[in-house]
Structure 1
C-alpha cells in the first residue's frame, strides 16, 4: 500500500515540476505600418544641370586698313557704339595727296583720249576718199582705244584712292560695346599689317556654349526613337541660367546649334544656346551654371528620395503588393527633380511605393500600407512607421537611402 502511494506522489511532483517549467507562448508581432504613395506615370520635363561659358553673339576686330599716324580716339571706351560710327581718326594728309595725284592722272588720261578720238574721227572721215591709207586709219583707231583704256585705269586709281581716304575714319563694323583702345594716339598703324585698334562685341543676345557626353546624347536620341522622349511644345530645348546669388536669370535661352562631330579630346558634343541679355547683366567669357530642358519624358514617375534604396546590384524600391506583402522593384533613375527621383523604368502604374518605414520591411514579409504625404515629412511625422524609423537601428549597408549612397545624377537599371 505504501508503494502505490509513493508512485502517486512522485507522479504528482513530476507534473507540478513540468507545469512550473512550461513558458507561455510568444505572440506574433503585427505587420509594420509604412507610409506609401501610389505610382502614377507622368509626362515630365527632361532637365539637366550643366555648366557653360558665355560668348558674344558677334565679335568684330576693328583694325587700321591704311597706313598712317593715329590722330584721335573718338569713342568712349566700354560704351555702346552703332554700326558705322567713327571710332578713330588716322592722319588723312598723305591719303588726300594720293587722291589728288590720281585725279590729275585721270585728267591727263581724259585729255589724251580726247586728242586720240579727234585724230581717229578725222581718219575715219577721210578714209572713204582714200585721203589716208589703211595703215594710218588703223594706227589712229588703235591710239584711241589705248587712250580710252588709260582713262578707265585712271578712274579705277581715283576710286581706290578715294576708298583709302575713307579708311582714314575708322568706323564700327557692327553695333555693340567697344572695348579698350589697343594703340595710343601718335602711333604709326597699318604699316605692313592691319593693326588691331579695338574690339566691338554685341552683348544682346549672348551665346551659351556647353557640351554633352556622346553617351548621354546617344541615350537621349534612343529614348526619343522609342517614344519615351519628345521635344517640348515649341520643338526647342530651353536653358535657365543661375546667377551667382543663386537666383534664376529672368530670360530663358533656346538651343540653336548642335555639333555633328565628337571632340576626340573630351568625347563630348558641343552645343550652343541663344540667351537674351537686354540689360547687359551677363558678360561674355564668364562661366554659368544652368538648367537645360531638353524635352519631355513620357511615362515617368516621381518618387520621393527616401524611397530609393541601393545595394550592390543597383537601385530599387520596396512596394506593398495587393496581397499586403512587400515586393522589390529594380528601377532606373534619370536624376532628381525638386527633391524627387525621376524613375523611368521598373515601376508599374498603381504600385504602392514605400516611402516611410523602408528599414522595417523585408521582401516577402507583410506590411500595412498607410498614405504618405510630403506634409507629413515636413512635420517630422512621415507616417506611423516614420517614428519607429528614427528609433530603429541603422539600416544595413545594402539598404542605405539613395541620397546618401549615390549622387542624384546616377542612373541604374537591373
Structure 2
C-alpha cells in the first residue's frame, strides 16, 4: 500500500517534467523560425522623371455670358398685331419679331406724300415770278417787288425740304411698326400678347435676344497671381504669350468642353472688395451647349517653364504648405523630399529644384511604406485621367526544343 502511494506521485512528476521539456523545445524552435523570417520589400509603382519645358496652368472659376444681348422695345406707339417668332427659337438678323398696327402710320405717310407734291408744285411759279422781277428790277419794277419774289421762291423751296423731311419721318415710323431682330440670336419668352398696347421706348422689354455663338466666359483671378506672372515673365523664367494661349473648360457636371477658347480681354483694375480682376475668354458655341449664367472652370495656360512634373496623386502638403513626395533611392529605399516652390501644370505639380533626371518617383503604394523602408519598384506611367498604368514586362522567348 505504501509503495503504491509513493509510485503515483513519482509517475506524475516524471510526466510533468517531460511536458515541460517538450514545451521548451517547441518554444525554442518557434523562436528560431521567427528570427529567421524577414518581411519582403513592398511593391511600389514608380515613374522616372525627366526635365522638360512644361506648361504652367491656372484653374479659374467663371460664368458664361452671352456674346450679345438686346432688350427688344418698340420705337412707335400702337397695338401688337402679330408675334412672328416662336419663343425660345433662333432668329436671323432682320427677321420680324413683332408687327404693330400700321394703319395710322400708313395714313400719315400718304399725307406726307401729298404735302410734298403740293410744295413741289408751288416752286415753278415762284421761280418764274422771281426771274421776271429780276429782269425788270432796273426798268420799272421796284426793289421791294423783287425782294418779295425772291423771298417767295426761298419759302417755296423750304416748304419742299420740310415736306421731304416729313415724308422721311413718316416712312421711318411705318418701318418701325415691324420690329426686327438686330442680330442672329435666341429669343426669350414674350412679355406681351397680340392686342396689347405698347409705347415707344417703354421700360418693359417685349423680349430679350441673346447671341450664344460665340459665347463669352468671364473668369476671375487673384491680383497675387497676376503679380507672380509678371515677375516670372520679367525674370525670363516664363516663356510664351498668355494672350495667345488656349483655354479649356470643364462644365458644371465635370465634363470637358470639346472646344478651346482664346483670351479676349482682361480688366486693368482690381476689385477693392475681393482683390480679384476679371478675364474674359471667347469660345465657339455652335451647339449652344454653354448657356448664359452657367458655372464653369477654365484651365488657362499662362506660359511655359523648364522643370519636372510630379503627379498630384503622388504628392502631399506638409503643415507649412510645402510639397512633399516619396522617391526610391539607388539602393531601393524610400526617401522623402520637400519642395518649397511648386506650380500647377494640369494634373501635376511643376518643380524646378530638388530633382534630377532619372530620379524615380513613387506614384502608387504610398500607404505601405515609410522613409528608409526597402521597396521593390515597378515601372509605371500616369495617364491623363491620373490613373497609374504599370509597364508591361517584355514577353519571354519560348524555350528551345531539344
The TM-score normalised by the length of structure 2 is 0.74
Task: Say whether residues 1:273 and 2:281 are aligned partners.
Answer: yes
Deviations 1:52-109 (A, max 9, x none): 1111111222211111111110111111211111111101011112222222322332
Whether the aligned pair in 2 keeps the contact of 1:331 and 1:346 (CA below 8 Å) is: no
- How much has 1:293 moved relative to structure 2? 2.7
2: distance between equivalents of 1:192 and 1:307?
61
Could you say which residue in structure 1 is the equivalent of 2:222? 213
Deviations 1:91-128 (A, max 9, x none): 10111122222223223322333332221111012224
Deviations 1:311-330 (A, max 9, x none): 44733456678999968554
Could you say which residue in structure 1 is the equivalent of 2:354? 347
Q: 1:116 to 1:38 in 2, by over 3 A?
A: same
Aligned mate of 1:166, from 149, 170, 175? 175
Could you say which residue in structure 2 is the equivalent of 1:252? 260
Whether the aligned pair in 2 keeps the contact of 1:204 and 1:276 (CA below 8 Å) is: yes
- How much has 1:178 moved relative to structure 2? 1.9
Task: Say whether residues 1:236 and 2:239 are aligned partners.
Answer: no
Aligned mate of 1:87, from 91, 97, 100? 97
Measured on the aligned residues, the alpha-carbon RMSD in Å equals 3.5
Task: Say whether residues 1:44 and 2:51 are aligned partners.
Answer: no
Task: Say whether residues 1:76 and 2:86 are aligned partners.
Answer: yes
1: distance between equivalents of 2:191 and 2:305?
51
Aligned mate of 2:291, from 270, 275, 283? 283
Whether the aligned pair in 1 keeps the contact of 2:83 and 2:194 (CA below 8 Å) is: yes
Could you say which residue in structure 1 is the equivalent of 2:271? 263
Q: 1:304 to 1:139 in 2, by over 3 A?
A: closer
Aligned mate of 2:118, from 108, 118, 125? 108
Task: Say whether residues 1:155 and 2:164 are aligned partners.
Answer: yes
2: distance between equivalents of 1:309 and 1:287?
28
Whether the aligned pair in 2 keeps the contact of 1:68 and 1:190 (CA below 8 Å) is: yes
Could you say which residue in structure 1 is the equivalent of 2:379? 373
1: distance between equivalents of 2:157 and 2:209?
45
Whether the aligned pair in 2 keeps the contact of 1:319 and 1:329 (CA below 8 Å) is: no
- How much has 1:166 moved relative to structure 2? 0.9
Whether the aligned pair in 2 keeps the contact of 1:113 and 1:144 (CA below 8 Å) is: yes
How many residues are aligned here? Answer: 345
Stretches of structure 1 lacking an aligned partner (at least 5 in a row): 1-28, 381-414
Tell which deviates more after alignment, 40-49 or 135-144: 40-49
Q: For 1:76, what is the secondary structure of its paired residue?
A: coil
Q: For 2:112, what is the secondary structure of its paired residue?
A: helix
Could you say which residue in structure 2 is the equivalent of 1:16? none
1: distance between equivalents of 2:389 and 2:184?
56
1: distance between equivalents of 2:290 and 2:83?
27
Tell which deviates more after alignment, 161-170 or 237-246: 237-246
Whether the aligned pair in 2 keeps the contact of 1:321 and 1:327 (CA below 8 Å) is: no
Whether the aligned pair in 2 keeps the contact of 1:120 and 1:137 (CA below 8 Å) is: yes
Q: 1:176 to 1:303 in 2, by over 3 A?
A: closer
Task: Say whether residues 1:186 and 2:195 are aligned partners.
Answer: yes
Deviations 1:353-406 (A, max 9, x none): 6637796436xxxx87975533699599xxxxxxxxxxxxxxxxxxxxxxxxxx
2: distance between equivalents of 1:306 and 1:230?
27
